Structure 1
């Protein structure tokens, strides 16, 4: 059933500009801020607008309610192709949430107010700085449903926390606490739940107090040096990391396992895997 809040995708992300900082809030609480095509469109458009606003120097992304994002909406995904169900129809190149492949030269700060699972974690991986609630958890549960972390989890995570730890998250599907995420280098700060947005704003304001052009140039230099340009670029389709991810996605999501996993999720039961 379509929720009334999804009828107009512009309501799915709340936008507020505070000084030189734009705050983008995921607002699909009835679905634990799960990402469907409407949310991808709304967040992608809000990010593009903030990126093009000369008064904005930093951007904070957070979630409404007690969850940052539970990831891709598997109920929506089980009913259609990825591009139709969880990507923006107008901008499929932005990929999941309208963020994970949309380059923004202004610093992005994730204010993780609660669970960041699957695509929720992949949104944080697309951000530059992360402040987390001490009640937050981070995980990539896709393999539990016959899928894999196709929106950056498989190609970005190891750059931040190393291959062994990345494989632990990607292959087990087991979440980690905010404290463990801090120890692993996945987040920058862990604070009480009531302080998450204030702490993220403090970090964003500190960034925005610096020279805007120098900050944007520094961000680009760090990203290109850290990843050899393989996960951000003018034409992401040509980059090896995303090409590998896309080919595995094409083989995994429509497979018998993928269909069974998504159907099991929609029916709230354990998947039944073939031998």
Structure 2
């Protein structure tokens, strides 16, 4: 593992993948992306594991794309897809993982970071943290599979509010809005994830793998076409002059 992504075994049969790039606030840097790919590959290859917890550090879960990468996309030099064929896309790693994944989103989850968290099988949110699909804040349409996973996991009405407005929600507000996931004080998120993971680890791995495959088959099958549509929208929306201006003036604000 890279220093910014580690794999531990907090309970028998439970893997914990922790993102802790404190210098970059868990944005999708090359180190974080590579570390996530290796971490999920390690977990998938070890048949002792029956459940995965994906979490961050302190007040950050995952902050999505870096400004440099977003500016590269604006310039037509990159996309949000992995550059090398056969390299996994970090945002969909929880979906592709054969065993159940719990996103313990103890901290802020922004843009593609929130999308990645929602691709998990279980989600636990923090009352104090902020959650935002802020793509439209910068003038470009959403990516990272957001246009499919948000409606699937949050319901159409809340997904539309997230995606069209780009507004920021506190976990406590999402709880009041009836988000279909537990919302806990930040200090309790990981403990709740561990309790859930322990209950999953009591089951046979093969049964968990088969049932997850059945439950997520439709989303897995639909995702490639959704990504193509999102990339097509980016060809129209990402290269507008105001997008660069907004990225330079608003990014991180």
TM-score between the two structures when normalised by the length of structure 2: 0.87
- Secondary structure of 1:116's aligned partner: strand
* RCO comparison, higher one (Cα < 8 Å, 6+): 2
Give the conservation status (yes or no) of the 8 Å contact 2:96–2:220. no
Q: Deviations over 1:250-269 (max 9, x none)?
A: 33333323323322245x78
CA distance in 1, matches of 2:45, 2:177: 33
- Secondary structure of 2:203's aligned partner: coil
- Secondary structure of 1:148's aligned partner: coil
Task: Name the counterpart of 1:252.
Answer: 237
Q: How far 1:110 moved relative to its partner?
A: 0.6
Matched, 1:175 2:168: yes
CA distance in 1, matches of 2:214, 2:13: 22
Equivalent of 1:94, from 88, 94, 117? 88
Q: Deviations over 1:189-238 (max 9, x none)?
A: 2222211111111111111111211111111111125x48312xxxx3xx
CA distance in 2, matches of 1:183, 1:213: 37
Give the conservation status (yes or no) of the 8 Å contact 2:17–2:54. yes
Task: Name the counterpart of 1:17.
Answer: 9
- Secondary structure of 1:99's aligned partner: helix
Give the conservation status (yes or no) of the 8 Å contact 1:134–1:193. yes
Q: CA RMSD in A?
A: 2.7
Q: 1:23 to 1:85 in 2, by over 3 A?
A: farther
CA distance in 1, matches of 2:191, 2:151: 29
Task: Name the counterpart of 2:42.
Answer: 49
- Secondary structure of 2:2's aligned partner: helix
Q: 1:210 to 1:183 in 2, by over 3 A?
A: farther
Matched, 1:26 2:19: yes
Q: Deviations over 1:162-215 (max 9, x none)?
A: 222211110111122223434656552222221111111111111111121111
TM-score between the two structures when normalised by the length of structure 1: 0.80
CA distance in 2, matches of 1:48, 1:228: 18
CA distance in 2, matches of 1:86, 1:22: 27
CA distance in 2, matches of 1:56, 1:82: 40
Unaligned runs of 5+ in 2: none
Give the conservation status (yes or no) of the 8 Å contact 1:74–1:265. no
Q: Which moved more, 1:157-166 or 1:89-98?
A: 89-98
- Secondary structure of 2:245's aligned partner: helix
Q: How far 1:246 moved relative to its partner?
A: 2.0
Matched, 1:158 2:151: yes
CA distance in 1, matches of 2:123, 2:206: 22
CA distance in 1, matches of 2:42, 2:68: 29
Equivalent of 1:105, from 98, 108, 120? 98
Q: 1:66 to 1:205 in 2, by over 3 A?
A: same
Give the conservation status (yes or no) of the 8 Å contact 1:130–1:189. yes
- Secondary structure of 1:131's aligned partner: strand
Q: 1:120 to 1:82 in 2, by over 3 A?
A: farther
Equivalent of 2:228, from 243, 254, 257? 243
